[in-house]
Structure 1
Amino acid sequence: MWSSGTPQQAFLHLPLGPRSSTTLIPISAASANFPEWQQSPLCWVGCVKRTPLVGVVMAKAPGSKDSSEQQKWTQEGLVTESLPNGMFRIKLDNEDMIIGYISGKIRKSFIRILPGDRVNVEVSRYDSTRGRIIYRLRSSKDPS
């Protein structure tokens, strides 16, 4: 069993609040530059008992533009085939064939994509065989 002043026990008894993406990391008293008499896990007569310090590490927001732009490549391609469930076979300008799906913004605006259309595709760096169609390029013969 741990003594009452150990950081392990104090860390286990941290208050449980609502879950968030914030990570709590215990910090030793030595790294906080406390005087030597306050660093002791035991509380001597006349000293102020201190609870262990907890550092907060904040992660980047998942919707921030920096993280999404770093993980995606935008390429131009030609829709060659329409597949079920709003999927399309797209031949990119670098001769790669990928499977593309319609982004929510295009789906919400009821923009129709047909074989033969030129599109901008956002390809993930982690799976280069799939991509999201983010823009339908206007063709010279298309009046709209």
Structure 2
Amino acid sequence: MLIFFCASLGCFSSSAQQFVPGYAAMVSYYAGVCPALAKDATDDLRVSAVFRRSPADIARVCHCAQKAFLADRRLRTFVDVPPNLHAARLSKDSTRQYVSLSYSSSLGNCIMAEVDFALAKYPLDGVGRISHP
């Protein structure tokens, strides 16, 4: 499912190409693009019917994604250098790809949690109420 979201959002290419060097700038960049990425994912025709009944809480999704992204120990260890060295460390293609996929994974997992939340309220019988066996 994460690959579906990444493919629909273009996170394999656009995020890496628009990457901003520097750890603080990178964190700020992803925080800034999250609402649009999350909205695009939840507006996708394959899931939009679920979210029409129980709209996605984009702020909750983005808070979750940011928290998970900032908890990435490998990345935090990698940038545990003086700030003036961040740009050099974060400018490599392999690092940009890792960062893009790490954020995409965080965002995808948080969107899936929102899908689970919405599905719990989604009627199975098509008439607006949840069916019970």
Whether the TM-score (by the shorter chain) exceeds 0.5 is: no
Which structure shows the bigger proportion of residues in strand conformation? 1
Query: When the two structures are superposed, what TM-score results if normalisation uses the length of structure 2?
Result: 0.24
Give 1 or 2 for the bigger CA radius of gyration.
Answer: 1
Which structure shows the bigger proportion of residues in helix conformation? 2
